[in-house]
Structure 1
Amino acid sequence: MALKATIYKAQLQIADMDRHVYGDHNLTLAKHPSETDERLMNRVLAYALNVPADDLRGKLEFTKGLSDVDEPDLWQRDLTGEVVHWIDLGQPDDRRLMKAHGRSERVSVYSYASSTPVWWSGIDSKLTRAERVQVWQIPAEQSAALAALAERSMQLQISIQDGSVYVSTATQSAEIHPQLLKEARA
């Protein structure tokens, strides 16, 4: 018998001073049996960093993720179904990113493993033509601190200012400083 996903509920209060995006968001997250708390919380972080100010071009949504290799971890699709923003976590290969680049207006990758520099050095030169791809590294120790905040029912306050992200619960907090490895050129 296959293991089922574990459901997590998260109430986010986001104050993104860098993009002037503010709001409360109630999320229901399905944690795949093979998914770690660290990956789950990095999905929440990617949501907070990319949630649009309004829904005029569609909502940012969690996808089937690990259950479907043809979908990213999150995406924003407009009313016609076209992908506006494709967001992957981890260390996808260059073929996947080039395919995503061809299917969407914007692609973001958030890598959070300590092996990110090795992965990036092997893929960097293959993405020179992918102008709409942006790649971020979440330092491994900061990602681990974020994972420590995971609970089945969470209330998270997320403040983003000057490129730094502050995530807190009633009892704990984590500070994250995403590092830009590749900037998108529009």
Structure 2
Amino acid sequence: MALKATIFKARIQLADMDRGLYADHALTLARHPSETDERLLMRVLAFALNVPADDRDGTLEPGKGLSDTDEPDLWHRDLTGRIRHWVEVGQPDEKRLLRAAGRADQVTVYAYAASTPIWWSGIAGKIARASNVHVWQVDAAQSRALAALAQRTMQLQVSVQDGTAWVGDGERSVEITPHRLGN
């Protein structure tokens, strides 16, 4: 018998000074049985860093991610179904990224494991021709600290300024500074 996904709900109060975006969001995420709290919270962070200012041109929503190789962790599809933004968390292989680059206007990856430099050195040259792919590295210690905020129901405050995000739950706060890899 297959294990079922665990549902997590996050209410996010977002203050993104870099984009002039201040909004509240409710997010329902299904955590795949093989997914860790660290990866789940990285998806929440990716949502906060990429959510569009308004929904006139579609919304950023969770994809099936681990459950379906044809869908990303998050995606922004416009009202016609065109994929405006494909967001991955982790270390996807170059075939997946190149396929996503052909389907979406923009592809963003948030890699967070200590092995990210090794993964990146193996795929950087292979995805260089895809100018719409942007890869960010989150320090492994920062992503582990972020995982400590995981609860089935979360009230999170996310503040972004000068490329640094502070994620807190009212008791604890984690500072995260993604660093861009490649071009």
Q: TM-score normalized by structure 2?
A: 0.98
- Aligned counterpart, 1:102: 102
Contact 1:109 1:134 survives alignment (8 Å):
yes
- Aligned counterpart, 2:134: 134
- Aligned counterpart, 2:173: 173
Partner SS, residue 96 of structure 1: helix
Partner SS, residue 180 of structure 1: strand
Amino acid at match of 1:143: S
Deviations 1:112-141 (A, max 9, x none): 100000000111111121001100001000
Tell me whether 1:82 sits opposite 2:82 in the alignment: yes
Deviations 1:76-121 (A, max 9, x none): 0011111000001111111111111110100000001000000001
User: How many Å separate the matches in 1 of 2:78 and 2:107?
Assistant: 15
- Aligned counterpart, 2:26: 26
User: How many Å separate the matches in 2 of 1:167 and 1:147?
Assistant: 11
- Aligned counterpart, 1:148: 148
Partner SS, residue 145 of structure 2: helix
| Number of corresponding residues | 183
- Aligned counterpart, 1:37: 37
- Unpaired segments ≥5 residues, structure 1: none
User: How many Å separate the matches in 1 of 2:97 and 2:65?
Assistant: 15
Partner SS, residue 105 of structure 2: strand
Partner SS, residue 156 of structure 1: strand
User: How many Å separate the matches in 1 of 2:65 and 2:128?
Assistant: 26
Amino acid at match of 2:81: G
- Aligned counterpart, 1:122: 122
User: How many Å separate the matches in 1 of 2:81 and 2:182?
Assistant: 27
TM superposition shift of 1:162: 0.3
Amino acid at match of 1:107: V
Partner SS, residue 86 of structure 1: strand
Amino acid at match of 2:25: H
Amino acid at match of 1:81: G
Q: TM-score normalized by structure 1?
A: 0.97
- Aligned counterpart, 1:182: 182
Contact 1:133 1:182 survives alignment (8 Å):
no
TM superposition shift of 1:182: 2.9
User: How many Å separate the matches in 1 of 2:103 and 2:24?
Assistant: 30
Aligned sequence identity (%): 64
Partner SS, residue 24 of structure 1: strand
TM superposition shift of 1:152: 0.6
Partner SS, residue 41 of structure 2: helix
